[in-house]
Structure 1
Amino acid sequence: MTTTLAPVRCLAAWFPDWPVNAWWLAEDQPQTGPVAVIEANRITACSPAARAEGVRCGQRRREAQARCPQLTVVPADPRRDEQMFTPLVVTIEQIVPKIQVVRPGLVAMRTRGPARYYGGEAAAAEAILAQISELGVAGSRAGIADGLFTAEQAAVHADPILVVPPGAAAGYLAPLPVNRLGDAELSELLPRLGMHTLGDFAAMSVGDVRDRFGDRGVRLHALACGRDPREVVPRRLPPEFDRQIDFDPPLALAEQVAFSVQATAEDFVAGLAAQQLVCTELRVILRAEQGEHVERVWLHPGCFDAAAVVDRVRWQLQAAAGNAIGSGLVRVRLEPVATDAIAHHAPGLFGSGTDEKVHHVLSRVQSMLGHEAVVTPAIGGGRGLAERQLMVPWGDRAVLRHPADRPWPGRLPDPLPATVFPQRRRVEVTDADGVRVGVDDRLLLTGIPAQLSVGAAHLQLASWAGPWPVSERGWDAAQATKGCRFQVADVTGGAWLLMLDDQGWWAEGRYD
């Protein structure tokens, strides 16, 4: 005989249109005006002001903007939603421990403890909503019912609190539409079968539901009947990995700070290792005696050990000394921004070979000469070759002034030259008779390129391609570029990227 446990009495706290609220909080914008969050060109959340103008979830962007021309459209960002929701979760946990984050904008908890402490379920909900309102988040609601699903539906209809009496979950859910189950397939199929409400679906026998819809249908049928079997699973608080050291009296020398922070760095790395983690992205926060505050996020090509952490603290202090910091240092704080499983950074059976040696040598040179003494190349966005190449300090993430994933009409396609000259080199391109080759007004060559002269070297050309007209920054006389690009290959196997402008022929790069 199988015994079905009664649903747990739950309280669900819901924050309508949370993606919009998260954007307001992240951008420090006033929580007014028509705002909509868009994903895949459809509205997924909108503010009350936008709804008043006829904007609805599911609309296409063009339709929403036609209804509300002043609509502010922002892209969906799940990471932003989660980051902005964390402070609210921490605030609720100060009132009621052991809460479950169902999704950003919705939390659930068992009501037994809070009801006893605050003198009733409604009183507990009032305390939670009052605390949330102090954080500047308006419009939050709370639903209390048997089971998580019913409590969530009650929160949607709350004003601002709705309590479904014990044992009344099925009756409360019966008139709600079947799309509240959150299953797109059943939401489309059930109305075609004549079942438009949860009550209609609940009236089916469990056997018929299993035969027609399988185990998934049985689970959703239990929700429609008010028999939600799910337990509230409190979120598991992550271990505290941050480390901090205070100096009294303040320290003025970078070497003194580096020596003093050594033990803290070792404890920081050991704390992560105890959880089988390593730090790949580190935030170092420095605070000085007169209130100066310097914060920076450091990256590592592998993972941080204690020595690497100490190096970053020293480099950051050396860069800030006399500039952003003018007094003695009183505090150093270490925070892991990104972590990874330690197994991903363990050496293989025969070690990591050349990569490990290269990393050790470069890190050692960097620690002796300074952070920017060892750099690696990176390719960014843009049209010109010189503006696309960047030199990034070893271990740092490349910060691209011009993102490479944006459209750059007219840029040189791959493959790019292996060697890009910092300054264009003067060259000459002539035909078989030694006459300089040019381009007329119709972009037709005045001769067939046969020879390339680079300094004292004269190379016979085997093939060529072009011209490709280039016209950039015509509004900026200092950076304007106008001419034609060519690609040529000489008989020795070398290939060159050339530019012809009003001043003559130039070599921009070489394909090695």
Structure 2
Amino acid sequence: MRVAAVWFPDWPIQAARLDAGDELEEPLAIGAHHRIKVVSHAARKLGIRRGMKVRYAQSVCPDLTVVEDNPDRDGRMFAALAASFDDVAASVEVLRPGLVVVDIAAAGTFHGSEEKATEMLIDAAARRGIDALAGVADEIATAVIAARVPAVVPAGQSASFLAGLPLRMLVAETSLGADADTVAALGQLGVGTLGELAALPSTAISTRFGRAGLHCHRIACAAPNRRVAPEIPSADLSVSVSPEDPIERVDAAAFAARALAASLHERLADAGLNCLRLKVKAEVDGGEIVERTWRTREALTEEATADRVRWQLDGWLTHGGAGAITSLILEPLEVAQPDTAGQLWGSGSATGPGTGDDQARRVAERVQSQLGIDAVVQPRFVGGRGVAERVALVPFGERGPESSHAAWPGAIPQPLPARIGGGLNHPASRVTMIDAHATPIGVTAEALLTSQPYALSWGGNKYLITGWAGPWPVDGEWWEETPHKVARLQVIGCTPRDQEPVGWLLVWSKQQWRVEAMYT
């Protein structure tokens, strides 16, 4: 097998330029969540880097043009561009917007040579302001890496070509599926090149890093991979729809894509299978059939399937000139058994996500689509002095507020409590603490206890106090009309009957002790 990979560097930048009719002025950058996501070559030369805050990047380069991130735009524009390759090669697969792989052996036989076929692929993608690089090798992964050099790797020389490349090439391209943490760990152990990784025993890699490490090792060794667009016999799992009115608008295409993706994944779930390669086929006015194959490294989720179908339909309708769509078919070309089943959370390996995590994500996204984005939230560490204030709940799938790991004066020392109560205003959080003379204990203005703790009552239970630490005063929001003054106290106690120790984090606020959290 010989594979050609055609790579469009910084594709979101190129897609934005295409969508705007090449009217955007350099230097260019794509922004997402107030940070720079992609930068153009001209912007990089001026010091703009990925991950920068947009405001800081604009202060470094006042002439910087920042375009909002739009994955739908990237997919739509590339779906239309990928149609150009059909005139050169029959076996074309889209790995992601901005990267395709082609069976260059078949195309080379047809056009006379690999070199000529590769040159024709570059020419087919030629647009004003669009850059493309190509790499040729025996394996898909090696060809993808070669496209970034770029290079044509002679047959049988993939391992020697990869040997001298830095290890970071594994994470330079997301479609390779290399785990970033695993690559970082290998680098910390002194592995600097792909050749050094390939020289390590596969058993040692799999024992230390599991499946994620073995995947990186196979790439470095140039292990044989799947063919480009092979027709693998499988059960008929395709789904189709023939709308009453031909699809002519993008919004109608999006609705059809979502509904058909749901039907496909219901059928896949019933069969206990995942889809790795999907063919999107459409019949247009006049009876013409247009199709495109999408390949992914990980199993397609329902949302990912709907996105790819929507991008493809949008490309055909907007830029492909194919006419109204009268019939739409989704055909799984390559399916596989899930790695694990029966669990919802954490069913993957220690080094990578599993099918259960994908299922959980799909469930969360479906609930959000029905009940709203705030219906499913996830905790994020944000820093703070207490316990509850260190965790913020943000909508699932969104980035939370930036956390600060700097020291917080008055923060509770480690170890932190494991359970958080219902809140300081919850009736069940009220606690009464007394000294040996049954006198209630409070906190003075100097942040000292009024007496030595002896016992406390919480609900209907009584506990003898065996130890305590604190109090730690916090004078927060002192600039407001009603400052938030509290003091925290760690307390350990036990019941007179079973002598089982219990730990609490108490808060003194508004002349009352309350339980903020418990130690278990």
TM, length-normalised to structure 1: 0.45
Q: Specify the structure having the higher radius of gyration (Cα).
A: 1
TM, length-normalised to structure 2: 0.44
Higher RCO, 1 vs 2 (CA within 8 Å, ≥6 residues apart): 2
